[in-house]
Amino acid sequence: MLLVVDIGNTNITIGLYDRDALIGNYRLTTWFKRTSDEYGFMILNFLMSSHVSAVQINDVIISSVVPKIMHSFTNSIRKYIGKEPILVEPGIKTGISIKTENPKKVGADRIVDLVGCYYSYRGNALVIDFGTATTFDYISKDGVFKYGVTAPGIGISAEALSSQCAKLPEIEIEKPKSILATETITSMQAGLVYGYIGSVEYIIQKFKEELHCDDMLVVATGGLGKIIAQNTDMIDIYDRDLTFKGLKLIYDKNKKEIHE
């Protein structure tokens, strides 16, 4: 079995593969002060809930954009799973070509999503990951990544609205039935969600215009992406497991060298 891990700024998501089948997925809050033992106990509990023991795990692959927790997290894998984790970093085989100005600075999460999209759907595609930040990354039908946009995530926008305006409360991120709000909570939700949908649609439109690619597939992922994807016709596919798929594909491309 394979454990796939994506460490983001807000959440750590963990997937469990039995051959090519994703049989479990788990999520925990990214917190800098956890020890390797705390991470280890959590991972073992996740496995236990899927009726899997640590000895059944053949390998672990990790993508991370949070260097501060890598020492504790990787030590937890060594101590409690008994494996040396494989890291998505420069030099690992991905099957795609990164042609940005500084390829080594591209986040591992973005690479993993692009791999998942390219090998799952093929063709020209725009991958939108709704995470702490919202990223828009274009990959060509030839597997070349060259253009990307980074925007504040919808969660960051909601937090900024309540924290920077003394009289505005924290709100749940949901789309009200109408933009014609009559009180504070729904007025904030309307501005946040309808406004975010509008900005996402505009960025998609500009990608299509400037790349002269009207038939570009638009694939969304990320925990907060579902609410946006459900409310626009400009997103073709919402794939919540895209990151897990990318990690599994990268592992498959490298496992022969790993075990030599």
Residue-wise pLDDT for 16-53, tens only, equals 999 999 999 999 999 888 999 999 999 999 999 999 99
Q: How far apart are CA 221 and CA 111, in angstroms?
A: 13
Has residue 157 been placed in a domain? yes
Has residue 160 been placed in a domain? yes
Has residue 254 been placed in a domain? no
Q: What is residue 211's predicted lDDT score, i.e. its pLDDT?
A: 96
Statement to judge: residues 135 and 40 lie in one domain: no
- pLDDT tens digit string along 25-35? 999 999 888 99
Has residue 252 been placed in a domain? no
Statement to judge: residues 121 and 225 lie in one domain: yes
- pLDDT tens digit string along 54-101? 999 999 999 999 999 999 999 999 999 999 999 999 889 999 999 998
Has residue 198 been placed in a domain? yes
Q: Which amino acid is at 197?
A: I
Handedness of CA 103, 106, 111, 114 (dihedral sign): negative
Q: What is residue 40's predicted lDDT score, i.e. its pLDDT?
A: 95
Statement to judge: residues 121 and 79 lie in one domain: no
Residue among 99, 106, 150 at smallest CA distance from 129:
150
pLDDT band at 160 (very low <50, low <70, confident <90, very high): confident
pLDDT band at 260 (very low <50, low <70, confident <90, very high): low
Q: What is residue 5's predicted lDDT score, i.e. its pLDDT?
A: 97
Decide if 130 contacts 220 (C-beta within 8 A): yes
Give percent of the chain above pLDDT 90: 78
Statement to judge: residues 83 and 101 lie in one domain: no
DSSP label of 192? I
**What is the count of structural domains for the chain?**
2
Has residue 258 been placed in a domain? no
Has residue 260 been placed in a domain? no
pLDDT band at 259 (very low <50, low <70, confident <90, very high): low
Three-class DSSP category at 134 = strand
Decide if 258 contacts 93 (C-beta within 8 A): no
Statement to judge: residues 119 and 12 lie in one domain: no
Statement to judge: residues 64 and 186 lie in one domain: no
Q: Which of 55, 87, 119 is the last residue of a domain?
A: 87
Statement to judge: residues 26 and 117 lie in one domain: no
Q: Which domain holds residue 150?
A: 97-245
Statement to judge: residues 198 and 118 lie in one domain: yes
Q: Which of 87, 107, 126 is the last residue of a domain?
A: 87
Start-to-end C-alpha separation, the chain = 18
The CATH number of residue 174's host domain is 3.30.420.40
Decide if 207 contacts 48 (C-beta within 8 A): no
Statement to judge: residues 123 and 219 lie in one domain: yes
Determine how β-strand 59-64 pairs with β-strand 11-18. Answer: unpaired
Q: Which of 6, 18, 59, 109 is catalytic?
A: 109
Statement to judge: residues 52 and 149 lie in one domain: no
Q: What is residue 146's predicted lDDT score, i.e. its pLDDT?
A: 92
Angstrom CA distances, 59 to 38, 40, 82, 176, 202, stand at 20, 15, 9, 44, 41
Q: What is residue 27's predicted lDDT score, i.e. its pLDDT?
A: 92
Q: Which of 87, 106, 140 is the last residue of a domain?
A: 87
Statement to judge: residues 117 and 74 lie in one domain: no
Statement to judge: residues 114 and 238 lie in one domain: yes
Has residue 92 been placed in a domain? no
The reply to whether 109 belongs to the active site is yes
